[in-house]
């Protein structure tokens, strides 16, 4: 966490890899960065010096072939919107049923062997 010229927190998430497929637009909607901002805005830290307003956040990619670091910014979040999305996600994940959806991260997913939407996957109830 850094402080900007107005004394607000600015969160920087250092990434050791290359920027990959993280575009300028996708960083603006990055849920991990939004969660960091939400934690600050909700005073999630016991240390009172880590409480205050947030001006934004960024992903700072240090790896890759570039001669310098690559940064992807996210403006200050809408605290109520992100909090609502987080609650909705938590409720969905703790429900009696959880719907798996295929996406671009499926190819590197650590649990695809047990995922029912994968050709080689199975349900948890299969027992194999």
How high is the pLDDT of residue 96? 86
Percent pLDDT > 70 in the chain is: 91
Task: Measure the CA–CA gap between 73 and 71, rounded to whole angstroms.
Answer: 6
Residue pointed to by tokens 């403006």:
75
Residue 34 CA to residue 38 CA, distance in Å, equals 6
**Over pLDDT 90: what percentage of the chain?**
55
Let me know: does 116 contact 122? Beta carbons within 8 Å: yes
pLDDT grade, residue 66 (50/70/90)? low
Q: Measured at the alpha carbon of residue 90, what is the angle toward residues 118 and 106, in degrees to the nearest 5?
A: 20
Q: What are the tens digits of pLDDT across the range 1-15? A: 999 999 999 999 999
């Amino acid at each position: 966490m850094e402080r900007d010229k107005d004394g607000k927190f600015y969160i920087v998430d250092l990434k050791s890899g290359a920027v990959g497929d993280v575009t300028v637009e996708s960083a603006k909607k990055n849920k991990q960065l939004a969660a960091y901002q939400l934690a600050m805005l909700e005073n999630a830290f016991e240390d009172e010096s880590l409480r205050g307003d947030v001006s934004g956040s960024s992903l700072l990619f240090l790896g890759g072939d570039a001669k310098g670091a690559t940064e992807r910014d996210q403006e200050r979040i809408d605290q109520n919107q992100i909090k609502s999305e987080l609650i909705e996600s938590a409720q969905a994940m703790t429900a009696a049923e959880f719907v798996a959806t295929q996406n671009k991260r499926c190819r590197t997913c650590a649990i695809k062997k047990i995922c029912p939407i994968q050709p080689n996957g199975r349900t948890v109830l299969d027992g194999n």
